[in-house]
Amino acid sequence: MTRRILVTGAASGVGLALARQLADEGVAVIGVDRAEIPVPVDRALRVDLTDFAAVREAAASVPELDGIANVAGVPGTAPAATVLAVNVVGTRVLTDALLPRLAEGGAVVTVASIAAHRNTLPAEALDRLCTVDSDAELADWLAEFPLSGAAAYDTSKAALVAWSARLAARLLPRARAVSVSPGPVHTPILADFRESMGAESIDRAGAMVGRHAQPGEVAAAAAFLLSPAASWVNGIDLPVEGGLAAARTHLAAVREPGTAEPSTERTSR
């Protein structure tokens, strides 16, 4: 039987790469995006994740699924309300509406980010954010926890990691939920990340591991986690960042006090 997987953000970047890879594997892909999806999919839904009513309406038309891939997201160059509406609220609203259609043995894979570790809000604030259900509730949350767009991005990804873990527990034993946290990826919004996170920080990450990821490399990890081959992988966050955390930890451990940071040449091997 042909598997059917819904992919948000399927018009560009990692979402597009995932939709293409799944389709090449014979999966029936339902692509969700506010823009036109440039690869053939089984069905395309034009939906803006900031329109929660439209999200629920679109979900009602979706047939049974074997997987949900939450890839859509906006960077920290957007206003905080937009970042949180797309990255957290719209993603959660869509997923909750689709869960009754998720087949036994299915999986929910959500793309977060290694930027989640930059979040400065307490767990209680993230928990409340993950219960927001409307524009008014989001406005109230932001009034209590005012954030810039850049900080909202970090917080949104931390919220997704926490929400995905709770979802895994909630779905047991019928289905799985996993998050994936990429580092910098060569997508159309990489320039936005250079602006919101600082070009020096993004360049330094690339120098440490030799380059930035290609969208297909992150998509490959997501495709595996969506597949039956990952049937015992559940409730975790999978960093897909080329060894960046390991490089940072190792270099910090071996660097002598007062010595200069290792050159790009050494850390790029």
pLDDT for 257: 52
- Whether 162 has a pLDDT exceeding 50, the answer reads yes
CATH architecture of 4-242: 3-Layer(aba) Sandwich (3.40)
Residue 48 has pLDDT above 90, yes or no: yes
Over residues 60-119, the pLDDT tens digits come to 999 999 999 999 999 999 999 999 999 999 999 999 999 999 999 999 999 999 999 999
Q: Please check the confidence at residue 260 and state whether its pLDDT lies above 90.
A: no
Active site residue 153: yes
Dihedral sign, Cα of residue 87, residue 134, residue 178, residue 72? negative
Its pTM stands at 0.92
- Rounded distance, CA 221 to CA 207, Å? 22
In which band, very low, low, confident or very high, does the pLDDT at 267 lie, cut at 50, 70 and 90? very low
How confident is the model over 23-45, as pLDDT tens digits? Answer: 999 999 999 999 999 999 999 99
Whether 269 has a pLDDT exceeding 60, the answer reads: no
How many CA atoms within 13 Å lie on the side-chain side of 51? Answer: 10
From the list 44, 40, 8, the residue with the least C-alpha distance to 24 is: 40
pLDDT digits (tens, 9 = 90+) for 12-23: 999 999 999 999
pLDDT given at position 170? 98
Q: Is 53 helix (H, G, I), strand (E, B) or coil?
A: helix
Is residue 258's pLDDT more than 70? no
**54 contacts 97 by C-beta, under 8 angstroms:** no
Q: pLDDT grade, residue 250 (50/70/90)?
A: confident
From the candidates 141, 145, 153, 163, give the one annotated as an active-site residue: 153
Return the top range by mean pLDDT from 152-156, 200-204, 249-253: 152-156
At 66, list the tokens. Answer: 């074997």
**Spatial separation of the C-alpha atoms in residues 179 and 13, rounded to whole Å:** 17
Q: Which of 56, 86, 90, 62 is nearest to 74 (CA)?
A: 86
Indicate if the pLDDT at residue 175 is higher than 90: yes
In the predicted model, what is the mean pLDDT of the chain? 93
